[in-house]
Structure 1
Amino acid sequence: MIGRDKIVQTAQSIAAIQQDDGGIPWPEGHVDAWNHIECLMAMSVAGLDEPVRRGYDYLAAHQRDDGSWPMKLVDGVAVERGGESNHAAYIAAGVWHHHLVTGDQAFTKERWPMVKAALDYVVGLQTERGEIVWERDARGRASSYALLTGCSSIHQGLRCGVLLADHLGDPQPHWELAADRLAHVLSAHPEAFADKSRFSMDWYYPVLGGAVRGAQAFELLDREWPTFVVPGLGIRCVSDQPWVTGAETCELVLALDALGDRERAVRLFADMQHLRHEDGSYWTGWQFANHKHFPYERSGYTAAAVVLAADALQGLSGGAALFRAVAAPSVTPSDPDLCGCTPART
């Protein structure tokens, strides 16, 4: 486990890469809303209020009339103009997390219209079956398919949005219905999603996002544990490459913590600390066949995942239980043979 002073140092490494306009870029220079929000959440845990506020101002400045954000922004200019559904949904997790950490009611009310517009954009991309397609392109056309990882994150965003709406006395029952329908598809109909099973995120994200919990979650994680977990190093980003990544490892830590599996969560968190740099930042990954950092970069989103995992394990802030608290109710059987639904694909 790492102490609070090191956690603050890691959050400060994120603040150090924040741009003058408030955006927090990937190492190659672009900003996307999801990773930007994750970085704001981490800085909130560390009490870095000023960069967090600038970061939310950045989101407000770049949100479009339909509630979405461009996929990629460089120096404040959209270079990929499509709008991803999971990017839009994560603003609800960010604002609810900020409220849990700070209790700043004025901030929460100020950002509420941004959340409402974003989640209404998201549910507008839900299919009749229940999955939510991954984007609306630059011409406004909805994609023809959905992504399991993205929809799992969307589920968390919708649950956070419902909690936020209830807290502010402005209930949004259509979000809750959308979340329930999405949870069922994630739990019982993996065939509804594009096959990205070589990526570890598609393995653990249904648990992390709250759609799958309990015995089904343990069964899911145990099934592919040997495929993705590299003892002493962390977890693979993809199943067919000798490459562990810090962000994915810490997200699995959060998923395990949400299940109460503290032993494995703590062990994995310790395993990935070899990626820590002396300045508190974290290398994105490690290629363990070649014994080299790959890619040769230290990313803000990796540092953010470390801070959020540390908070969950140590209870450092009021947002420590965020990922535990978004579990779906058992609305329908998880067995597709019992639920009565038509399979998404045959």
Structure 2
Amino acid sequence: MISRAEVVRTAESIAALQQEDGGVPWPEGHVDAWNHVECLMAMTVAGLAEPVRRGYAYLARHQRADGSWPMKMMDGAGVELGGETNHAAYVAAGVWHHHLVTGDRAFTEESWPMVKAALDYVAGLQTERGEIVWERDARGRPSSYALLTGCSSIHQGLRCGVLLGDLLGDPQPHWELAADRLAHVLGAHPEAFADKSRFSMDWYYPVLGGAVRGQEAFELLEREWATFVVPGLGIRCVSDQPWVTGAETCELVLALDALGDRERAARLFSDMQHLRHEDGSYWTGWQFVNRKHFPHERSGYTAAAVVLAADALMELSPGSGLFRDVERTATFDPDVCGCAAGIRVPPQAAERETP
């Protein structure tokens, strides 16, 4: 386990990346709303109030009239203009997390219009069955398919939005219904999503986002544990490459912590510390056959995942339970989508659609 001081140093390595306009970029130089919010949450844990304020102001400036953000932003302008639903939804998780950590009611009220517009954009792209398509393209056309990882993150964002609305006396029952329907599809209908199963995120994200919990979640994780977990190093980003990545490992740490499996969570967190740089930042990944960092970069989003995992395990802030506490509230209801009562399709037996 790393120390509190080391956690702060890691958050400071994220602040060092922040651009003058408030954006927190990828190593390639662009900003996307999801990873930007993740970095803001990490800096919130460390008490870096000024960079966090600038980061949320950046989001408010770049939100579009429909509630979305460009997929990629650079130099103050959108460079990929489609709007991803999971990018928009994660802003609600960030604002709810900020409330939990700081209790800053004025900030929450100021951010509420941004959250409302974002989640209304997301809910408007839900299909009749319940999944939420991954984007609306630059011409305004909805995508023809949904992504399991993205929808799992959206589920968390919707739940956080419901909590924000209740807190501020502006309840949004349509978001709660959207989250209930989405949780059902995530838990019962893997055929609803494009097949990205070689990616570890598609394995653990239904647990991380709160749609699948309890015994069902333990069984889900056990099915592919040996496929993705590399003892002593972390977890693979993709099943067919000898490549472990820090962000994915820390997200699995958060998923395990949410299930109360703190022993395995702490072990995995310890395993990935070989990626730590002396300045507190983290290498994105390690190719363990070639024994080289790959890609040759230290990324803000990896550092952010480390801080959030450390917070969950060490309870450094009042927001440490963000991933534990936001989970499915609805019980399984076959009438939600019209599927056969009580029948759940096992993931290994379902046919998946491809984009």
Same fold (TM over 0.5): yes
Paired position in structure 1 for 2:287: 287
Q: What is the identity, as a one-letter code, of the residue corresponding to 1:116?
A: K
Q: What is the identity, as a one-letter code, of the residue corresponding to 1:59?
A: L
Distance, in Å, in 2 between the alignment partners of 1:172 and 1:331 is 19
Distance apart, 1:296 and its partner CA:
0.2
Q: 1:189, 1:344 within 8 Å by CA — same for their partners in 2?
A: no
Distance, in Å, in 2 between the alignment partners of 1:321 and 1:163 is 14
Paired position in structure 2 for 1:258: 258
Distance, in Å, in 1 between the alignment partners of 2:54 and 2:333 is 44
User: Cα deviations across residues 3-55 of structure 1 (Å, max 9, x unaligned)?
Assistant: 11000000000000000000000000000000000000000000000000000
Q: What are the ranges of 5 or more consecutive residues in structure 2 without an aligned counterpart?
A: none
Q: 1:286, 1:294 within 8 Å by CA — same for their partners in 2?
A: yes
Q: What is the identity, as a one-letter code, of the residue corresponding to 1:199?
A: F
Q: What is the identity, as a one-letter code, of the residue corresponding to 2:12?
A: Q
Residue 27 (1) aligns with residue 30 (2): no
Instruction: Show structure 1 runs of 4+ deviating over 4 A.
Output: 340-346
Q: Percent of aligned pairs with the same residue?
A: 82
Paired position in structure 2 for 1:49: 49
Distance apart, 1:331 and its partner CA:
2.1
Distance, in Å, in 2 between the alignment partners of 1:199 and 1:338 is 31
Distance, in Å, in 1 between the alignment partners of 2:305 and 2:333 is 32
Residue 338 (1) aligns with residue 328 (2): no
Distance apart, 1:161 and its partner CA:
0.4
Q: After the TM superposition, which residues 57-68 of structure 1 pair with which residues of structure 2 at under 5 Å, given as runs?
A: 57-68=57-68
Q: What are the ranges of 5 or more consecutive residues in structure 1 without an aligned counterpart?
A: none
Aligned-partner SS, 2:322:
coil
Paired position in structure 2 for 1:178: 178
Q: 2:250, 2:306 within 8 Å by CA — same for their partners in 1?
A: yes
- Taking structure 2 as the reference length, the TM-score comes to 0.95
Distance, in Å, in 1 between the alignment partners of 2:19 and 2:96 is 24
Distance, in Å, in 1 between the alignment partners of 2:133 and 2:333 is 23
RMSD of aligned C-alpha atoms? 1.5
Aligned-partner SS, 2:160:
helix
Distance apart, 1:341 and its partner CA:
9.2
Paired position in structure 1 for 2:248: 248
User: Cα deviations across residues 81-101 of structure 1 (Å, max 9, x unaligned)?
Assistant: 000000000000000000000
Residue 11 (1) aligns with residue 11 (2): yes
Q: 1:129, 1:344 within 8 Å by CA — same for their partners in 2?
A: no
Distance, in Å, in 1 between the alignment partners of 2:10 and 2:253 is 17
Distance apart, 1:332 and its partner CA:
1.1
Distance apart, 1:329 and its partner CA:
2.2
Q: 2:97, 2:322 within 8 Å by CA — same for their partners in 1?
A: yes
Paired position in structure 2 for 1:309: 309
Distance, in Å, in 2 between the alignment partners of 1:126 and 1:179 is 10
Paired position in structure 2 for 1:70: 70
Q: 1:247, 1:305 within 8 Å by CA — same for their partners in 2?
A: yes
Paired position in structure 1 for 2:137: 137
Paired position in structure 1 for 2:90: 90
Q: 2:188, 2:344 within 8 Å by CA — same for their partners in 1?
A: no
Distance apart, 1:338 and its partner CA:
3.5
Distance, in Å, in 2 between the alignment partners of 1:6 and 1:250 is 16
Distance, in Å, in 1 between the alignment partners of 2:29 and 2:269 is 28
Aligned-partner SS, 1:235:
strand
Distance, in Å, in 2 between the alignment partners of 1:192 and 1:267 is 34
Distance, in Å, in 2 between the alignment partners of 1:56 and 1:74 is 16
Distance, in Å, in 1 between the alignment partners of 2:327 and 2:113 is 25
Aligned-partner SS, 1:181:
helix
Distance, in Å, in 1 between the alignment partners of 2:104 and 2:95 is 10
Distance apart, 1:326 and its partner CA:
1.1
Q: Which moved more, 1:72-81 or 1:240-249?
A: 72-81
Paired position in structure 2 for 1:324: 324
Q: 2:165, 2:172 within 8 Å by CA — same for their partners in 1?
A: yes
User: Cα deviations across residues 256-295 of structure 1 (Å, max 9, x unaligned)?
Assistant: 0000000100000000000000000000000000000000
Distance apart, 1:345 and its partner CA:
7.2
Distance apart, 1:330 and its partner CA:
4.2
Distance 1:11 1:260, change over 3 A: same
Distance, in Å, in 2 between the alignment partners of 1:243 and 1:71 is 26
Q: 2:190, 2:352 within 8 Å by CA — same for their partners in 1?
A: no
